[in-house]
Amino acid sequence: MRPSNKLGRPAAFDKDAALDVAMRLFWERGYEGTSMADLSHAMGIHPSSIYAAFGDKQALFALAAKRYLEVPGQYMVRALAEPTFETFVQAAFYNTVEFLGGKEYPASCFTLTGSLSCGVDTEPAKALMLDIRLRNEAVLKGRLLKARRAGEFSKEENIDDYTRYLSSLLSGLAVQAANGSTRAQLKRTAELALRHLGIRVRSEV
Amino acid sequence: MRPSNKLGRPAAFDKDAALDVAMRLFWERGYEGTSMADLSHAMGIHPSSIYAAFGDKQALFALAAKRYLEVPGQYMVRALAEPTFETFVQAAFYNTVEFLGGKEYPASCFTLTGSLSCGVDTEPAKALMLDIRLRNEAVLKGRLLKARRAGEFSKEENIDDYTRYLSSLLSGLAVQAANGSTRAQLKRTAELALRHLGIRVRSEV
DNA sequence: ATCATTCCGTAATGATCATTCTCGAATAAA
DNA sequence: TTTATTCGAGAATGATCATTACGGAATGAT
């Protein structure tokens, strides 16, 4: 039952690759829209092996969400590392556009498509997605506090309100992407948001 | 099979009231998260009567979506009737805040929670929600075109971009509501959006 | 070569899914 | 009252759901 022992028959599949497939499927179809049979087929692993390697469906979903944050979700972490407030907000929007408009991953945000609503017996999945969204907002707020300490952000502005406003704008882009907006359209929408935020767009830099 | 005949045994339930219950359940749990058994229990009608009165699950979902547009969804229609561009945008945001922050209905948008992602065999539900979102955007664009003709909207501004930007902002508020924002928080976020749009907030009027 | 250990594949589990069949009950027209 | 018609309730349908039991296959250690 416990893994990573060197005894016994070795696994015939790459665990990370399989988890990557599961992540994409959950991302595309959501928790409820993805059956274990779908996962088994897409991952190329029989159900019993999935359960042995990852636990039940909810555990697999949690691992997929973790991998989402560690790999494709890093676009926001990269933006957070920008030295100034202005370049951070710029990067947050441009990275989001690349993330949503790119063709490597499904065209929306895992934390929304994964489970925005669900039946009563699958609420843990919805709660996990909500938790991640709120955690991301908290991180965003931390970056704004840092900007305030650096004197890059007006003391008149309410940090919590501004946090929710930025979060709202970025979520809005994710819905736009789900609506079928192209990368070019997302970019234009993001740049309109940046202009209204009083932040330079890259073509003007 | 065809309804509204005066012959035979009369129905023991109010069709509109039952549809209202179904709408709320789909709104709260989404298409896939709502089972026919759930609906039967909440509507107080046995499954066979649901099928006789509304058709299959997909047909019932479509009727629930229609009712959503006709009753709670009217908040946007009311905003569209505002005479000027500025009062329209104001009303669009304030009405959305009331709609999302009110306690009469689930705290998000039917077109998102109904089905943002789903399994392959329930894609009609997702397509219907997408269709409504795009239709709403088209209506929004129509209002902006009217504003341009009235000279209330700069010729420099791209209508399509501005439409997607407003749509994005309003979708963002719906996600905020799903995140648990209170009505007061939604209002502050909306007013921040209005200020950045260069539109007066009501407390300043 | 034997053994403990781990994994893979098959097939089953009971539950729940949407949907429909059947039949008695209730009503309007005759 | 008879008859045609519609409805309600319950049970049954086959499919799919997540999950697991079982037995053979493949490995490392002895």
What would the two tokens of residue A68 be?
A: 């989402």
pLDDT at A9: 86
Tell me the one-letter amino acid at B136.
Answer: N
**Residues B98-115: pLDDT tens digits?**
999 999 999 999 999 999
**Residues A79-117: pLDDT tens digits?**
999 999 999 999 999 999 999 999 999 999 999 999 999
Residue lying closest to nucleotide D18, CA to C1': A36
CB pairs under 8 A between A and B: 151
Q: Do B172 and A176 make contact, defined as CB atoms within 8 angstroms?
A: no
**Residues A107-160: pLDDT tens digits?**
999 999 999 999 999 999 999 999 999 999 999 999 999 999 999 999 999 999
Domains of chain A: 15-68 (1.10.10.60), 73-204 (1.10.357.10)
What would the two tokens of residue B56 be?
A: 């299959």
Decide: B141 and B51 in contact? Cβ < 8 Å.
no
The sign of the torsion formed by the CA atoms of A57, A58, A60, A61 equals: positive
Q: Is the CB of A118 under 7 A from strand C?
A: no
Provide the CA A54 to C1' D25 distance, Å, integer: 22
Q: Do A33 and B173 make contact, defined as CB atoms within 8 angstroms?
A: no
Residues of B in contact with A42 (CB under 8 A): none
Task: Tell me the HSE value of A16 on the side-chain side, using a 13 A CA sphere.
Answer: 3
Query: Which residues from 17-56 of B have any strand D atom under 7 Å from their CB?
Result: 45-49, 52-53
Kindly give the interhelix angle for A183-197 and B159-178, rounded to the nearest 10 degrees: 80
> pLDDT at residue B4 above 60?
no
pLDDT at B7: 82
Backbone dihedral angles phi then psi of residue A46, each to the nearest 5 degrees: -70, 150
Tell me the one-letter amino acid at A56.
Answer: D
Give me the mean pLDDT over the B54-79 stretch: 98
Residue of A nearest to B189 (CA): A165
> pLDDT at residue A7 above 90?
no
Cα A143 to Cα A116: distance, rounded to the nearest angstrom: 26
Residues of B in contact with A28 (CB under 8 A): 117
Q: In sequence order, which residues have a C-beta less than 8 Å from that of residue B156 and are 6 or more positions away? A: none
Which of chain C's bases lie under 7 Å from a protein CB? 4-12, 16-22, 24-29
Query: Which residues from 17-36 of A have any strand D atom under 7 Å from their CB?
Result: 34-36
**Residue A205 DSSP code:** -
